[in-house]
A and B are shown apart, each in its own frame.
Chain A
Amino acid sequence: MLNITKMNELGCNTAEGLKRCLNQETFYLNLVQMGLKDENFAKLEEAIKNNDLDKSFEIAHGLKGSIGNLAITPLYNAICEITEELRAKKAIDYSPLLEKVKENRDKFLAEL
């Protein structure tokens, strides 16, 4: 079960995240769960596979916002990295960056 201690161990800044939820732990953890299960992760993978850079950026940018708000720091950092490359529309292989996002997300999903 993912809890505050576990999140902190995984490098999250839960103090920030909790503050944004007026220190309501249950509400916060609930949102964290929703954030991690966001279907946009799948949509991002799909868009990158289709080489649709605009759409990929839009989705990554959205995820950056919500994961950032939840203060899931390691996952947030990985999303930031891919978002910035997509913003610049760089013609690179996005698989390693996407993999990094997936790895970080999986770490948390494993705890749910």
Chain B
Amino acid sequence: MARSVGGVRGERDRIYVPYLLPALLIYTFLFIAPAAVTIWYSFTKWQGLGTTAHYNGLANYRAMLTNSVFLTAFRNTLILVVIGGAFVFALTFLTMVVMREMRGRAFVRSMLFVPCILSPIAIGTAVGFLLNPDGALNQVLSDVGLHSLTRGWLGPDLVFKCIIAAVVWISTGFYVAIMMSRVDAIPEDLYETARLAGANRLEQFRYITFPLTRDALSTGAVLWVIGAVKTFEIVIAFTGTAGNPPIQARSAAVEQYLAVTGGVSGTPELGSAAAIGVVMFLLTAVLVVALRRLLRSEAVEL
């Protein structure tokens, strides 16, 4: 008898384990297990290779709640996720209001996406040069008589605002692409009807585009949180790794990098670095679950 369809399934079942096993083992033992071991390290004091780890309970976590350097790093990361996210999605919504019927929209969309595939180190180096105290931006400002507007853009007071602006500028194109690919799927006659009923663009957005892209918004918001919590490159590109970045500029990921490498002159604190990693994971998990709850909606079927 020729092999039946059921036979195909049976055959495939035979390759199930051997095909799956390499990926599953690597993922389990080199991804999940190390992540779990990080939790154990986070309860130790460990000053790097060649020294031994000593169990010290919750001391690393307690330090994070009391040490102003850690607190600043986590506050910065949280500000970046919340404020930066508000800007990213506000800009994305504004774009969604007009982009559907805009001339040259395919070109604009593909251009906005470009910064997402470029190294943040490269972008940060170039933009950082413009923002330097004696850099081009201040030069231009004083040349056109706006000397009062010149600032130490990358100085302690403003640097984190510049970092947020850069992250927003780099990543918004990605979220525009996500949301617009969903907008593309909305049938044109819905907008046609709305226009006949006298609905303007904002009303069309409010009653058609927004409700019909809720699920993409929920995914986009989750991706934003996962990405923004990890913000690292742009900070060190703006501040350099020659000296330690100023405390005001540090994100949690930068603080962890300094803890692993010991920074410029210090000793590594591997236990504390592990604790930062754990808190970053928890932060991601809590925000993702909260967002999922917040943005949950019954699926809209067309």
Chain B binds chain A: no
By a beta-carbon cutoff of 8 Å, the part of chain A in contact with chain B is none
